[in-house]
């Protein structure tokens, strides 16, 4: 029934909002299902009609973030393979701004880091595919191990995203993306203020 669907969507939304706000206030380990239902003003039976426990609710939050990011990035895939556009990163930052509380919960490592590991693995897998396809399209060979390249990139991105969401930074998503694009294209040596070729040695 449509009315039941609307009620179900409303219940899930209220439970999600209550869950995220409580985790940000108290930490994941400190909250119980009863706390979530009380904050959402719903009964325990309603919670268990949708989720087995709070772990399942956290998993659902991560699934929603990943699926929405995949949906947003899919139209940009072909363009990303051809070159560094910065558009996928911009889309990620825009999505994070829209889903600020959910991203903060995930990026803080709440739930024993399970959600964060899943998010990083998903972004790393997506980045690895793009990097490999881009190299093949340009007929070049990656100069460092693909896993090192993708994990370094995603780790850097996650750290910056976390800082941006948690701090009082006034930088817009567009400004952050522009700086990351410069870093990708010109490197850390250039970004640190130096010109020319870096000195030999490590």
Sequence spans of domains, the chain: 1-51, 54-187
Using DSSP, state whether 193 is helix, strand or coil. coil
Which pLDDT does position 79 carry in this prediction? 77
Q: How far is Cα 84 from Cα 86, in angstroms, rounded to an integer?
A: 6
pLDDT at 4: 66
Phi, psi of 116 (to 5 degrees): -65, -45
Q: Does domain 54-187 have CATH number 3.60.10.10?
A: no
CA distance 54 to 194: 50
Inter-residue contact 114 to 73 (CB < 8 Å): no
| Angle in degrees, CA 98, 102, 106, rounded to 5 | 130
Give me the residues of the chain with pLDDT under 70, please.
1-4, 200-202
Under 8 Å between Cβ of 47 and 15:
yes
pLDDT in the model for residue 2:
60
What crossing angle do the helices spanning 87-98 and 173-191 adopt, rounded to 10°? 130
Are 166 and 104 a contacting pair, CB within 8 Å? Answer: yes
**Cβ atoms of residues 32 and 39 within 8 Å:** no
pLDDT at residue 123, as a whole number: 92
User: What pLDDT, on the 0 to 100 scale, is given for residue 137?
Assistant: 86
Tokens of 140: 């070049």
Whole-structure pTM value: 0.89
Q: Which CATH class is domain 1-51?
A: mainly alpha
User: How many angstroms separate the CA atoms of 100 and 92, rounded?
Assistant: 11
Same fold, 1-51 and 54-187: no
Tracing tokens 């640190």 back to the chain, one arrives at: 192
């Amino acid at each position: 029934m449509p009315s039941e669907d609307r009620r179900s969507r409303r219940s899930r939304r209220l439970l999600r909002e209550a869950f995220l706000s409580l985790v940000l206030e108290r930490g994941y380990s400190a909250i119980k299902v009863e706390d979530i239902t009380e904050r959402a003003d719903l009964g325990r039976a309603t919670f268990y009609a949708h989720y087995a426990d709070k772990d399942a609710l956290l998993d659902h939050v991560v699934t929603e973030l990943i699926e929405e990011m995949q949906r947003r990035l899919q139209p940009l895939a072909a363009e990303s393979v051809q070159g560094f556009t910065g558009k996928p990163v911009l889309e990620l930052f825009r999505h994070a701004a829209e889903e600020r509380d959910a991203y903060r919960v995930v990026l803080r490592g709440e739930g024993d880091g399970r959600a964060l590991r899943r998010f990083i693995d998903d972004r790393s897998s997506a980045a690895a595919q793009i990097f490999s396809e881009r190299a093949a399209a340009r007929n070049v060979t990656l100069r460092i191990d693909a896993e090192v390249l993708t994990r370094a990139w995603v780790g850097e991105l996650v750290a910056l995203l976390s800082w941006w969401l948690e701090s009082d930074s006034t930088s817009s998503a567009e400004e952050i993306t522009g700086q990351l694009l410069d870093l990708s294209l010109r490197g850390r040596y250039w970004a640190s203020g130096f010109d020319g070729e870096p000195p030999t040695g490590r």
